[in-house]
Amino acid sequence: MKFEEYRISSDIKRSLAEKGFKKPTDIQYKAIPNILKGEDVLAIAQTGTGKTAAFAIPVINILHSNPPSRFTKGSVRALVMVPTHELAQQIAEVFKEIAKYTKLRILALFGSTDQDPQIAAFQKGVDILVTTPGRMFDLRSQGYIDFSGTEFLILDEADRMLDMGFYKDIEDVLRYLPKKRQTLYFSATIDEKIKKLAYSIVKNPIRIQISPDDPISKNISHSVVLVEMDDKRFFLERFINQNADKKLVVFVRTKVRADRVVAAMERVGIKTESIHSGKTHLERKDTMRRLKSGELMVLIATDVSARGVDIPNVDFVINYDLPEEAENYVHRIGRTGRGMQKGKALSFCSTEEKPMLDAIEDYIGHSIATQKLADMDYQETLIFSDADQKTFKDVFKEIAEFEKLNLKKKKK
């Protein structure tokens, strides 16, 4: 069935056609009718399978078809909660595109930006608020936001939002929201504990799960290569040089390591940028813009960018370090192979990271193809690194000087 044939507003069909969305993806096909019917939904589908539009289309349709008689100050009709700035911005953008021919007011809200324009937006009330928890609580406690008439609560990356770090926030939000509302959960991963939590918040949600046996998108081919910790930067350098025209996202364990990798690549003439929680909102925004446009081809990222971020045409994801939380393997490699595209992922695993690899394989339910580089190939990578060539030059210089010295000695 095409979007053309859906019982949704022609204003939405028009923007979907402009976006090039003709047919729903599997998750959209299953979730949209249930949401339109007013059901609570818990939806699990692989990365890059169009979960955003799966909730945005029906929510926009419902809000657009039933405009309120008047807006009250600070009112929010749909509250979408996400874990990061980038996601708040991106998801609000998708809502805006799909709602382009409606009058719905959509606002992205997150911290470390000027709050005045955000307060001004609330004066008139908003239809759809896409937010991370922090700033939203701030503005609410200052009396700028009123959730008493909110019709939808949507948790994207739901398992993350219900996990320890955010659960207290969600509990608080639930206290402000009306009991009678529609609740939607979307994620690529969920475990039993979180599922129970989700069920405890709403009764009998419709549960939709696409391809439950494999959490990894079928568009992604992924493998592991055994590389020792100290050698990783040489392998990354070689990989980037061999794939100079490709777009890469490289995940590392900490922000300090992210900046170190950027510096190491700079030393061998490779331009990269890092994104992590230590960067300002503006820096993160600029880096993402350059990566999206293709001006930047290699991003070094921590797990803040693992979830949900939709960057066009990422050819490879490299796990420079394995993720500490097994489910993040799924989210990280899910930055490639989005929509109809194919993607590849390669993980560098050192001897000390083997237990993490085991945990990941346990989590995804199957083993990952492992390449063991032949000794020759491994040595070659180390020798042909630009960084090493520099020290090689030094060594040659030393040898030359040594020989000169010897020559002099002999002459005597």
* Residue appearing with tokens 């009250």: 72
Strand partners for 81: 131, 155
Which one of 49-57, 224-232, 364-372, 389-397 is the stretch in contact with ligand ADP (CB under 6 A)? Answer: 49-57
Contact 335, 249 (CB under 8 A): yes
Q: CB 339 → ligand ADP: shortest distance, Å?
A: 3
| Residue 21 near ligand ADP by CB under 6 A | yes
Which has the closest alpha carbon to 348: 229, 237, 268, 244? 229
| Residue 338 near ligand ADP by CB under 6 A | yes
Distance in angstroms (rounded) separating the CA atoms of residues 329 and 311: 17
Q: CB 48 → ligand ADP: shortest distance, Å?
A: 5
Q: Which does 47 bind (CB under 5 to 8 A by kind): Mg ion, ligand ADP, none?
A: ligand ADP
Q: CB 109 → ligand ADP: shortest distance, Å?
A: 19
| Residue 48 near ligand ADP by CB under 6 A | yes
Q: Which residues contact residue 303 at a Cβ distance below 8 angstroms, ignoring those fewer than 6 apart?
A: 251, 323, 325, 328, 331, 332
For residue 380, give the DSSP letter. Answer: H
Residue showing the smallest CB distance to ligand ADP in the complex: 50
| Residue 47 near ligand ADP by CB under 6 A | yes
9, 15, 25, 132: residue in contact with ligand ADP (rule CB under 6 A): 25
The span from the first CA to the last CA of the chain, in angstroms, equals 93
Element (H, E) at 290: helix 281-293
Our CB check for ligand ADP shows the closer of 49 and 131 to be 49
Q: CB 159 → ligand ADP: shortest distance, Å?
A: 13
Which one of 23-31, 238-246, 287-295, 358-366 is the stretch in contact with ligand ADP (CB under 6 A)? Answer: 23-31
CA distances from 273 to 16, 259, 261, 262, 283 (A): 33, 8, 9, 6, 10
Our CB check for ligand ADP shows the closer of 217 and 272 to be 217
Residues that bind ligand ADP (CB under 6 A): 21, 24-25, 28, 45, 47-53, 308, 310, 338-339
